[in-house]
């Protein structure tokens, strides 16, 4: 077998919190690399993200069957492992960058595909500058992923649409439930959702309310300072008018002093601090001040892992940005993030594009104020127009024995060529 030494190998890693569709992006990358075998050598994945690159713990994606790669498209989580590990600046930790170059050189890696959110975009930017900083030729392409939807420039981030759909479906269902019980039992239901800084996920819950009075009747955003009195008055009015009140609350809601409502200094009977959610705090407040019976739910990881009710649009976009990353690399690009560019709202049309990473790294996209109603408790039509296409379509995984069939990869390690490297943290 003649190995083409001119063909550069590629590296792919998943970074940060995983989503229902980040593996669809991985499938897009693998699929595109396999279709371009004449131009790209092997595709290695980092085990547990960038840590895999630093520790030379590489996975040979070539060992995975076509069926497994196809199944990645409908498998939530990060199939190669992810990590929360942000590279420091070149000046602060030059050793890490030198190690990356050493690993890339040892394994003939010339393409770096990094699949993550804001912090990862920053890491990807630094890697893309290795040519200048350390003289090692690399093309680094960032593949967007985050349930928080807070990356700039791109219309949306793969991962968000599916969380959005899960939250909208869930609050609709819970709203129907509470409405049936309200006569003699629960009158207020609180669903806590993710979004520490931006209210995109909470806003998505608002899509479930297609007509006046439908659940959720109240949304609490991190962008809006929590006003207890105004909130309680709204809850009371809603219960009196509609018989019940369904509330979506973002984990990041804060009071006028900037404190997270979830952080109430809660302690158990032994004095142990309890890290509770914000949902029980809101529910307890309603019970105490208004006397209504309540129920609350905290969706936590269920929302971002819920591949069973993923948005078809989201899955398609996740796959497309993975594929495009490879295409852009083959066109010679470096230091860009793949974007989703909206061409029209109705019908929703989009295509992939790209933006220099320098314009992305360390910028967060917040909810525009005109996406939130003036009273601060719901979303506007402008927000609906933006969000609506992102939850379109269902993309059900296959089932066996009543359960979704998600793939576990073989994740075969590539033989190491270098001495071990100790992570600082």
Q: What is the set of active-site residues?
A: 148
List 116's β-bridge partners, or say none: 144
How many residues are listed for the chain in this entry?
425
Give the H/E segment covering residue 290: helix 278-290
Helix extents (H) in 73-159: 94-106, 118-128, 130-134
Cα separation, 269 vs 258, whole angstroms = 27
List 246's β-bridge partners, or say none: 189
Cα separation, 338 vs 353, whole angstroms = 6
Distances (CA, A) of 281 to 190, 254, 291, 298: 10, 12, 14, 12
C-beta of 79 vs 336, nearer to a copy of itself: 79
First-residue to last-residue Cα distance in the chain: 42
C-beta of 233 vs 273, nearer to a copy of itself: 273
Angle at 171 between CA 203 and CA 349, to 5 degrees: 50
Task: Give the shortest CB-201-to-a copy of itself separation in angstroms.
Answer: 15
Task: Give the shortest CB-83-to-a copy of itself separation in angstroms.
Answer: 4
Distances (CA, A) of 271 to 66, 108, 267: 54, 56, 5
Helix extents (H) in 19-117: 22-35, 50-54, 66-72, 94-106
Cα separation, 151 vs 144, whole angstroms = 8
Q: How many CB atoms lie within 10 A of CB 265?
A: 7
C-beta of 79 vs 121, nearer to a copy of itself: 79
Task: Give the shortest CB-259-to-a copy of itself separation in angstroms.
Answer: 10
The DSSP code for 119 is H
C-beta of 304 vs 354, nearer to a copy of itself: 304
C-beta of 17 vs 376, nearer to a copy of itself: 17
Cα separation, 303 vs 383, whole angstroms = 21
C-beta of 306 vs 361, nearer to a copy of itself: 306
Task: Give the shortest CB-48-to-a copy of itself separation in angstroms.
Answer: 4
Task: Give the shortest CB-284-to-a copy of itself separation in angstroms.
Answer: 6
C-beta of 70 vs 301, nearer to a copy of itself: 301
CB 331, CB 41: distance < 8 Å: no
Task: Give the shortest CB-87-to-a copy of itself separation in angstroms.
Answer: 13
Output the six-digit token pair for 135: 């003289």
Task: Give the shortest CB-286-to-a copy of itself separation in angstroms.
Answer: 12
C-beta of 356 vs 393, nearer to a copy of itself: 393
Q: Which own/partner contact pairs does 235-240 have at CB distance under 8 Å and 24+ positions apart?
A: 235/188, 235/286, 235/290, 235/292, 236/290, 239/182, 239/187, 239/188, 239/290, 239/292
Task: Give the shortest CB-185-to-a copy of itself separation in angstroms.
Answer: 5
Comparing CA positions, the residue from 331, 349, 333 lying closest to residue 341 is: 349
Angle at 343 between CA 396 and CA 381, to 5 degrees: 75
């Amino acid at each position: 077998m003649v190995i083409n030494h001119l063909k550069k190998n590629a590296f792919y890693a998943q970074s940060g919190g995983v989503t229902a569709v980040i593996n669809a992006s991985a499938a897009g990358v693998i699929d595109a690399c396999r279709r371009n075998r004449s131009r790209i050598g092997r595709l290695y994945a980092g085990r547990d993200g960038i840590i895999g690159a630093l520790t030379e713990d590489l996975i040979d994606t070539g060992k995975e069957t076509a069926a497994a790669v196809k199944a990645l498209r409908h498998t939530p989580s990060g199939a190669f492992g992810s990590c929360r590990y942000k590279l420091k600046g070149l000046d602060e930790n030059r050793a890490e960058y030198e190690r990356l170059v050493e690993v890339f050189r040892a394994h003939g890696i010339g393409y770096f595909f990094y699949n993550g959110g804001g912090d990862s975009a920053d890491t990807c930017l630094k890697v893309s500058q290795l040519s200048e900083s350390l003289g090692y030729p690399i093309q680094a392409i960032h593949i967007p992923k985050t349930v928080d939807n807070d990356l700039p420039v791109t219309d949306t981030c793969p991962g968000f649409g599916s969380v959005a759909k899960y939250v909208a479906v869930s609050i609709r269902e819970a709203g129907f439930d509470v409405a049936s019980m309200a006569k003699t039992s629960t009158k207020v239901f609180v669903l806590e959702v993710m979004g520490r800084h931006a209210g995109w996920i909470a806003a998505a819950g608002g899509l479930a309310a297609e007509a006046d009075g439908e659940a959720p009747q109240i949304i609490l955003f991190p962008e809006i300072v929590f006003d207890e009195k105004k909130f309680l008055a709204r809850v009371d009015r809603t219960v009196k008018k509609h018989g019940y009140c369904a509330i979506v609350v973002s984990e990041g809601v804060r009071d006028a002093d900037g404190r997270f409502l979830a952080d109430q200094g809660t302690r158990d009977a032994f004095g142990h601090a309890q890290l509770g959610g914000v949902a029980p705090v809101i529910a307890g407040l309603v019970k105490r001040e208004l006397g209504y019976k309540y129920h609350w739910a905290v969706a936590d990881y269920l929302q971002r892992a819920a591949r069973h009710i993923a948005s078809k649009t989201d899955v398609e976009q996740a796959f497309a940005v993975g594929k495009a990353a490879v295409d852009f690399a083959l066109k010679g690009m470096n230091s860009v993030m793949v974007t989703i560019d909206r061409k029209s709202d109705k019908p929703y049309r989009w295509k992939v594009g790209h933006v220099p990473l320098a314009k992305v790294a360390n910028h967060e996209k917040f909810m525009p104020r005109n996406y939130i109603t003036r009273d601060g408790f719901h979303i506007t039509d402008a927000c609906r127009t933006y969000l609506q296409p992102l939850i379109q379509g269902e993309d059900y995984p296959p089932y066996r024995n009543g359960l979704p069939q998600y793939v576990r990869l073989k994740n075969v390690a590539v033989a190491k060529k270098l001495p071990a490297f100790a992570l600082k943290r």
